[in-house]
Chain A
Amino acid sequence: MSDEPAPASEPETEAGALTDAIGVWAPRGNEVRVVAGTAVVLALFPFVFSRMPVVSDLLQGYQSLATLILIWGIFALGFDLLLGYTGLLSFGHAAFWGGAAYAAGVFSQQVSGSPVLMVAAGTAFAVLLAWVLGFLSLRRGGIYFAILTLAFAQMMFYMSSSPLAFITGGENGFTGVETGELLGTFALEAELPSVVGLLLGTWLYLFVGIITLLCVALAYRILHSPYGMVFRAIRENEQRAEFVGLNVWRYRLMSFILSGLFAGIAGSLFTIHGSYVPLSSLYWTESGEIVIMTVLGGTGSLFGPMVGAGVYLYVENIVSGGHPVDFIAPFWHLILGLVFVVVIWIFPRGIWGFVRDVRDFVTGGED
C-alpha cells in the first residue's frame, strides 16, 4: 500500500523506467510464501487467541492484547534490524518509540485525527530523530554506542518530563489524543462485519494487521536485498566490509534510521491503541524491554523478535495476573530476567533459534 506511491511519484518518466520501477517491487524468491504465511497467521491470530472455544479459554487472551502484541512486534522487528543484523546494540530506542507516540498524539490533537496521518506524522518524527541521533551516536562503536544512545534517549525523557511539559503533559503523560475514524468512515473500535469480524475482531486490528504485514514484507525485502547483505557483512567483520570499499558508517546510519522507522510506526500505533501516551514510554527501561523481547525471541531472524514480543507481553499481562498459577504472578519480572540470562548464556539464538534447532533435529538436517 505504502509502496505504490514510489513509482507514481516520479512523473513523466519513460515507460521503461516505470516498468523497471514496478519490476523492483515484484516479489522474488520466498517472499510470496513468507508474506502469504504471515497474512494467514495474522488473520487467524486474534480468533485463536481470544475467541476460539477451548483454546482461548486456556490462554485467557483478549482482543486488545492481540493488537498490542502486533504493535510491539513491529518495534521488535525494527530493533532486530539493528541488533541482530547490523550488530549494534542501542539502549535508546525508547526515544523513537516514545517520540513517535508523542508526535502522533500531538498531531491528532492539533492537526488531524486520521489514523493513517497520525502514523505518518509519528513515523516521520521518529525517522528525523533517528537520523540526528544516529548521526551523533554512530561516531563511536560498541559500548560507547550503547551509552550514547542511552544518554540521548534519557535526555528526551527529561525534556518531556519538565521543560517541554507544556506540550507533553509532563509527569501525567499526554492525555489529549483525539483519534478519528479510519479513512473517515470506520470507527476503529467497531467490530468488522460478518465472518471477518469473528475472525479479526475490530477495525483497529485490521489496521494494525495490515501495517504489520507491510512491515514484515518491507523488512524481508530489505534483509534479502544486497543492501541488507551489507548489514550482515558489517556485523560479521567490520574491517573486511571497509576494505572491500563499503562505507560502513553510512550503512550503519541507514540501518539505524530504518530501525527508527519501524519503532516510529509502532510508537504511533501505540498511541492510537491506547489513546494515551505515558511519560514512561520514553524512559530507558522501555529500551531495555525491547532489548529483552528481541533477544528472548531470537536475534538475527525475521520472526523471532515478534515471537519474543508476544511471549513478553503475554507474561506481562496474563501470567502477572495469576494465570495459570497464582504463585508466579508477583515474580513474573524475576522469571523473565532469569529466562533472559539463560537465553543469552545458552541459547544465543533465542526461542526462534531453539525451535529451529529442535525442528532440524527432528527432521534430521538443515531445512
Chain B
Amino acid sequence: MSFHIEAITVLLNGLQQGAIYILLAVGLSIILGTLKFVNFAHGALYLIGTYAGLLLALEINLTSGLLQEWGFSELGLGLGYIPALLIVPFVVFVVGLAMERFVVEPFKDRPDTDQILVTFGLAIIVQELFRAFFGSSSLPFSQPAWAQGPPQVPFLAAIPISSWRYYVIGITAVLVLIVYLLVEFTDFGLIVRAGTRDPEMVELLGIRLSRPYIVVFGIGAALAGVAGVVGGPLNPVNPTIGNEILVPAFLTVVIGGVGSIAGAVLGGVLFGLTQAILVATYSAWAQVGLYAIAALVLLVRPQGLLGEAEVAP
C-alpha cells in the first residue's frame, strides 16, 4: 500500500471515530450549555441506541441473560439498517424526554456533584439492566452487507475502508448541521439561546422555558441514540460500551468548549485524528496521547478551545 493511501486511510478512520465523539459531544454540550445539567448517563443513552438499533435491524440469538432463560432467545425484528436509523432516534428522544422530566427536573437546583452522582447511578442501573436481560457477552452487530466493502467510486475504491464509515461521517455531518441551523436560525433556537444567557428575563417576557428545555434534552439524547446505531457495528456490542465511550465524549465537550457546537466538532475531529494517527504510529501511546491532549488544552485554555470564559461556573 502506498504511503498516500495509507495516510488517507488513517485520516478517514480518524474522522469516522471523531464523528461518533461529535454526535455524543454535541448532545452533551447543548444540554450542559442550556440546562446547566451534567449528564453522566449520556453513555447509557448511547448504549440504549446501540441495543435498540441492533434489535430493530437484525435477528439475533441470545446465549445468556434473563430473556434467554425465559425462552426469548431469538430476538430482533430484522427490519434492516435504514428503518433502524430512522426509528431509534425517536425511541431515544422519548427516553430523553422522560429522563428530563423525572431526573433532570428534580435535580436542577441541586449542586453539580449531586447531578453527576445521580446520573452516574442511573448509568449503572441501565448498564446492569441490559446485562441482566441480554447477558454480558458481546452480541453480533455486523455492518450491513451493502456497506462492507469500499465504495465503488473512482479513487475511493482503492482505499480499504468500508462504506459504512463514510455513511457515519455523512450522517454526522448532516445531523450536526441540522442542529446548528436549529439553534442558530429558528425561533426555538433563539429562545434556547436567550434562556442560556438570562433565563429569568426570558420567563419575564412570558415564555415558558421548561418546554424548549425538555426538547433540547430530547435532541441531545436522540443524537446519542444515532451515535449508538452508527457506532454499534464498528465495535463489539456489550453492556459496558456506554461506560467506555462516556469519558472521551465528555473530554470532547470540555476541550471544545461547553455549549459550543463548533467546539464539539473541532474537539471530536482533533480527538479522532489524534487517536487514528497514534494507533498507526505509536499504538502503545494512542490512549495516553488522547488524555494528554485533553489535559494540555484544559490547562492552557480552561474554557475549551472555542468556549467563552463566562460560560464556565
Interface residues of A (CB under 8 A from B): 83, 87, 89, 91, 136, 139-144, 146-148, 150-152, 154-155, 158-159, 161-163, 165, 284-285, 288, 291-292, 295, 330-331, 333-334, 336-338, 340-341, 344-345, 348
B199 adjacent to chain A (CB < 8 Å): no
Chain A residues within 8 Å of B285, by CB:
162-163
Question: Which residues of B are found within 8 Å of A338, using beta-carbon distances?
Answer: 125
Interface CB pairs A-B, < 8 A, 9: A89-B113, A143-B313, A144-B254, A146-B112, A147-B251, A152-B291, A288-B124, A331-B128, A334-B128
Residues of B within 8 A of A348 (CB): 114
Q: Which stretch of B166-174, B214-222, B293-301 is in the interface?
A: B293-301
Q: Nearest chain-A residue to B251 (Cβ)?
A: A151
Question: Given A144-B312, A158-B287, A158-B288, A340–B121 Cβ distance below 8 Å?
Answer: yes
Which of B117, B132, B302 contacts A344 (CB under 8 A)?
A: B117
B250 contacts partner chain A, Cβ-Cβ < 8 Å: yes
Given A151-B291, A151-B294, A334-B132, 8 other A-B residues pairs in contact with their CB atoms under 8 A? A83-B113, A89-B117, A136-B295, A143-B112, A155-B295, A159-B288, A295-B117, A333-B128
Q: Is the CB of B298 within 8 A of A148?
A: yes
- Give, as a whole number of angstroms, the nearest-CB distance from A192 to chain B: 39
Question: Majority SS of interface residues in chain A?
Answer: helix
Report the tally of A-B residue pairs with Cβ distances under 8 A: 109
B302 contacts across to A, CB distance below 8 A: 139-140, 144
Interface size on B, residues (CB 8 A): 38
Within 8 A of A (CB), among B193-238: none
B112 touches A162 (CB 8 A): no
The docked-state distance in angstroms from the alpha carbon of A162 to that of B284 is 5
CA distance A334 to B106 in the complex (A): 22
Q: Which residues B59-115 have CB closer than 8 A to chain A? A: 106, 111-114
Chain B residues in 8 Å Cβ range of A159: 288
Distance in angstroms between the alpha carbons of A152 and B298 in the assembled complex: 11
Contact A147–B250 (Cβ < 8 Å): yes
| Most chain A CB within a 10 A radius of its CB, from B117, B124, B288, B295 | B117
User: Is B118 a contact of A341 with CB atoms below 8 Å?
Assistant: yes
Q: How far is the CB of B239 from chain A (nearest CB, A)?
A: 10
CB 8 Å contact bits of B241-267 with A (1 = contact, 0 = none): 001000100110010000000000000
In the docked arrangement, what's the CA distance between A159 and B121, Å? 28
- Whether, in the assembled complex, B161 has its beta carbon less than 8 Å from a beta carbon of chain A, the answer is no
CB distance from A333 to the nearest CB of B (A): 5
Out of A140, A141, A285, A337, name the residue touching B125 (CB < 8 Å).
A337
Chain B residue nearest to A141 in the complex (CB): B313
The reply to whether B124 and A337 contact each other, CB–CB distance below 8 Å, is: yes
Residues of A within 8 A of B254 (CB): 144, 147
Residue among A83, A140, A288, A334 making CB contact with B120, cutoff 8 Å: A288
Is B129 in contact with A334, judged by CB distance below 8 angstroms? Answer: yes
B residues in contact with A292, CB < 8 Å: 121
Query: Which 7 pairs between the two chains have the least Cβ-Cβ distance?
Result: A334-B128, A337-B124, A158-B287, A162-B284, A155-B291, A341-B121, A89-B113
- A76 CB to closest chain B CB (Å) equals 15
Distance between A316 CB and nearest chain B CB, rounded to angstroms: 13
Residue of A nearest to B287 (CB): A158
With the chains together, A202 CA to B307 CA distance in Å?
A: 57
Query: Which of A154, A165, A331 meets B247, CB within 8 Å?
Result: A154
Tell me, rounded to whole Å, the shortest Cβ–Cβ distance linking A92 to chain B: 11
CB contacts (< 8 Å) of A163 on chain B: these are 284-285, 288
CB-CB under 8 A from B295, the residues of chain A are: 136, 148, 151-152, 155
User: What's the least CB distance linking B255 to chain A, in Å?
Assistant: 10
Which residues of chain A are within 8 angstroms of B287 by Cβ–Cβ distance?
154, 158, 161-162
How far, in whole Å, are A165 and B285 apart by their CA atoms in the complex?
Answer: 11
Q: How far is the CA of A338 from the CA of B132 in the complex (A)?
A: 14
- What separation, in Å, do the CA atoms of A285 and B123 have in the docked complex? 12
Residues of A within 8 A of B294 (CB): 151
User: Given the known A-B contacts A136-B295, A334-B129, are A291 and B117 also in contact in the complex, defined by CB atoms under 8 Å?
Assistant: yes
Cα-based distance from A336 to B120 in the complex (angstroms): 12
Q: Which residue of the partner chain, among A87, A144, A165, A330, contacts B298 with CB atoms under 8 Å?
A: A144
Shortest beta-carbon distance, A248 to chain B, in Å?
Answer: 15
Q: What residues on B are CB-neighbors of A334 within 8 Å?
A: 124-125, 128-129, 131-132
Instruction: Select from chain A the residue with minimum beta-carbon distance to B115.
Output: A143
* A111 vs B34: C-alpha distance when bound (angstroms): 54
Given known contacts A89-B116, A334-B128, A140 and B288 CB-to-CB distance under 8 angstroms: no
Instruction: Kindly supply a per-residue 1/0 record for chain B positions 30-70, scoring 1 wherever the CB is within 8 Å of any chain A CB and 0 otherwise.
Output: 00100000100000000000000000000000000000000
| B159: interface (CB < 8 Å) | no
Cβ-defined contact, B299 with A136, below 8 A: yes
Chain B residues whose CB sits within 8 angstroms of the CB of A147 once the complex forms: 250-251, 254
Known: A154-B291, A330-B132. A142 touches B121 (CB 8 A): no
Tell me the minimal C-beta distance from B41 to chain A in angstroms: 11
Say if the beta carbon of B191 comes within 8 Å of chain A: no
> Which residues of A have CB within 8 Å of B132?
330-331, 334
* Chain B residues, CB < 8 A from A165: 284
Give Cα distance in the complex from A141 to B116, angstroms: 13
**Residue B11 at the chain A interface, CB threshold 8 Å:** no
Point out the residue from A136, A148, A340, A345 that lies within 8 Å of B124, measured CB to CB: A340
Pair A284/B313 contact, Cβ less than 8 Å: no
Known: A334-B132, A337-B124, A345-B118. A140 touches B247 (CB 8 A): no
Shortest distance from the beta carbon of B92 to any chain A beta carbon, whole Å: 20
The answer to whether B288 and A143 have CB atoms under 8 Å apart is no
Complex alpha-carbon distance, A143 and B122, angstroms = 17
